[in-house]
A and B are shown apart, each in its own frame.
Chain A
Amino acid sequence: MKTINSEHHLDLTKEDEKVYSTLNLGPTHPATHGIFQNVLTMNGETIVSAEQTIGYIHRAFEKIAERRPYYQITTLTDRLNYCSSPLNNIGWHLAVEKLLGVETNKRIDYMRIIVMELARISDHLICNSVIGVDSGALTGFVYLFEEREKIYEIYEELCGARLTTNLGVVGGFDRDFSPIAIQKIRDLMNGLPKVLHEFENLLMRNRIFMDRTINVGAISADRALNYGFSGPCLRAAGVDYDVRVQEPYSSYNDFDFIVPIGQNGDTYDRFCVRQTELWESIKLVTNALDNLPEGKFNTEVPAFFMPPKEDVYSKMEPLISHFKMVMGEIDVPAKEIYKAVEGANGELGFYVVADGGRAPYRLHFRRPGFIYYQAFPEMITGASLSDAILTMSSMNVIAGELDA
C-alpha cells in the first residue's frame, strides 16, 4: 500500500506553487442560458477570479435606431429582453408618449398593465424554473413551461406573434382585446395559482434546494446599489425600489400591490422575491381585468395613429395620414426625455434625444441586465462552480439585453 509522502503533500499547499486552471464557461454552454462567456480561474472546484466577455450578439440597436422612425423602433425593443418583449414594447411606447406629451385613457392603461404583468409573469416563470433546473430539479421547469406557453398563446391572440411581439402602438393598441383573448387570460389566471402552489411545494421549502441556494451568490444592499442593481435582484438585497411605485406610470397607482423584498440578496432571496412578485402580478392582472373601464383602445396621436383600413381605402384624409405614418414623416418636439419602466429584471430606461426629425438623434437603452451583470465576478469569487451557475441563472441575465 502506498502512503502519502508528507513532505510532498506540504509542497502542494504552498501558495506560490499552486497552478490554477482556467475554465471557459460559455459562450455556448447550456448553463449560461445565452451567448456570453465567463473565463473562470479555478483552484480545484473553487473560483479564484472570473472575467466576462459579452457582445457576441451585439446588433447595434442604438445606431440602427438613429435612422428609424419612432414606430419602427418597437421591433428593436422586442429583441432586448426577449423573455418579456411586450414589456419592452410598451415601455418604448410610453417613452414616445412622454416625448410627445400624450395622455392615454384608463382603458389603455389597464390593458397595458394586463399585458405588462403577463410579460412579467412569463419572465419570472422562466427564471425561477431555470433556477430549479440548475439546482437539479427539471420537473418544475416542465410544469411551468406549459403555463408560459399559455401566456404566449395570449400574446398570439393579442398581436399575432409569440416571441418578438411588436405589441401595441404609440398611443395604445392597434386592436381591442378580443373575447377569446379575455377568456384565455381568465383561464390562465384561474389555473396558474394551482400550478404555482405546486411549484412552490416542490422547491421553496425543499431541503436540497435551500441548501443549494441560501447564502449562494449573496450581495449586500450597499454593494448592489453601488453596482446599479435594479428589479428583483436589488429587492432581494433589501432595497424596496420599484419603478411602478416610485414613479407610477400607466395608472399603476390605481392598484394595490406589495413590493416584496429579501434580506440577504442571495439566490434563495432572489427566487423568493420573484415568486412573490408572481402572486402580485396575478392579483394585478385579475384586478385590471375585472375593473377594465369602457373606452377607446387607442389614442388618436396625430401621425402615429393608424386609421382603420376601410377608411384608408375609401377616404382621403385617412389615406394621407396612413401614408405619412408608414413613411415615417412625423414631427416630434425637439427635446430630450428619460423614461423608465419596471422591466422584468429591473429598471428599463429609454433616454431619447429628439431633434425634431423623423428618427431620434440619439437613443440609449438603459438595460438593467447589462448594468448588474458586471457584479457577477464579485458575487462568485470563492464559491464553487456549481454555485456560480446557480447565481447566474438567478440573476436573470438575458443575452439580448446584455448586448443590445
Chain B
Amino acid sequence: MEYSILLQELKNKFENSILSVDETADIFTITIAVEAVKEMITFLKEQHNFIFLTDLCGIHYPEEDKELGVIYHLHNLVANKRIRLKTFVTKENPQVESLVSVFSGANWMERETFDFYGIDFVGHPNLIRILNVEYMDYYPMRKEYPLEDATRSDKDDRFFGR
C-alpha cells in the first residue's frame, strides 16, 4: 500500500475535507475538516485496514483561529503503515464526533482529551473527566494556564515539608 494511492483515494472520496497533507513528517500526516473525522476514520479502518487506533490526543495553539486540535494516530498492522490525522476546532465550538462506536479504545482517550482540553466529543457515551476531579471548572492543558513561576519567592517551604 502506497501513501500516494491512499491519498488519491481519500481525495476522490473526501475532496473538500482534506485541508493539507504533510508527506515530510515522520508519519504521513493529513489535516482534515472536523465534519469528516468519523467518516474518514471509519473508511480507513474498513477499506484500508487501519484497524488499530494507536493514540488520540489534544493540542492547543492559542494564536490560531481554530485553537484546539485533536490528533489521531492510526496503524495498519498488516502493511505496517502509520497515518496521522489532525483536525482543528474553535474554542467556542469544540465539537468533534466521537469514535467510540468505531474503536472501543477511543473511550478513555476521548475522555482524557475532554478532561485536559475541553473538546466535546459528540456521541460519546460517558464524557466525564477521567484523571482530574469532577468539580474542576477549567481545562488545564490549555496554554492559558501556565505552570507556576519557578522563581516565585512568596511560598514558605516549611509548609511543603522542605
Residue ranges of A at the interface with B (Cβ–Cβ < 8 Å): 54-55, 58, 60, 62-64, 66-67, 98, 223, 225-229, 239, 241, 246-247, 335-338, 340, 347, 349, 351, 353, 362, 364, 366, 370-375, 378, 403-404
**How far does the alpha carbon of A403 sit from the alpha carbon of B105 in the complex, in Å?**
16
Q: Which of B103, B130, B133 has the most CB of A within 10 A?
A: B130
* A-B residue pairs, 3 tightest by C-beta: A228-B105, A55-B131, A364-B57
- 12 further A-B contacts with Cβ under 8 Å, apart from A226-B51, A349-B73, A404-B131, are A54-B131, A55-B131, A62-B116, A63-B147, A225-B77, A229-B105, A239-B77, A338-B54, A351-B71, A362-B60, A370-B112, A374-B107
- Please tell me which one of the listed residues A98, A337, A366 contacts residue B55 in the complex, with CB atoms under 8 A apart: A366
Would you list 16 pairs from A and B whose C-beta atoms are within 8 A, ordered by A residue? Answer: A60-B140, A67-B150, A226-B51, A228-B105, A239-B77, A337-B26, A340-B54, A349-B55, A351-B57, A351-B73, A362-B59, A364-B71, A366-B73, A371-B105, A375-B105, A378-B104
- Please tell me which one of the listed residues A54, A228, A338, A366 contacts residue B103 in the complex, with CB atoms under 8 A apart: A228
Check B108–A370 contact: CB distance below 8 A.
yes
**How far does the alpha carbon of A225 sit from the alpha carbon of B104 in the complex, in Å?**
9
Q: Which of B55, B71, B133 has the most CB of A within 10 A?
A: B55
- Tell me whether A246 and B80 are in contact in the complex, defined as CB-CB below 8 angstroms, given that A98-B26, A353-B59 are known contacts: yes
**How far does the alpha carbon of A335 sit from the alpha carbon of B29 in the complex, in Å?**
12
Q: Give A56 Cβ to nearest chain B Cβ, in Å.
A: 9
**How far does the alpha carbon of A371 sit from the alpha carbon of B53 in the complex, in Å?**
10
- Please tell me which one of the listed residues A58, A64, A338, A366 contacts residue B131 in the complex, with CB atoms under 8 A apart: A58
Check A225–B51 contact: CB distance below 8 A.
yes
Check A223–B147 contact: CB distance below 8 A.
no
Using Cβ atoms and an 8 Å threshold, which residues of chain A touch B71?
351, 364
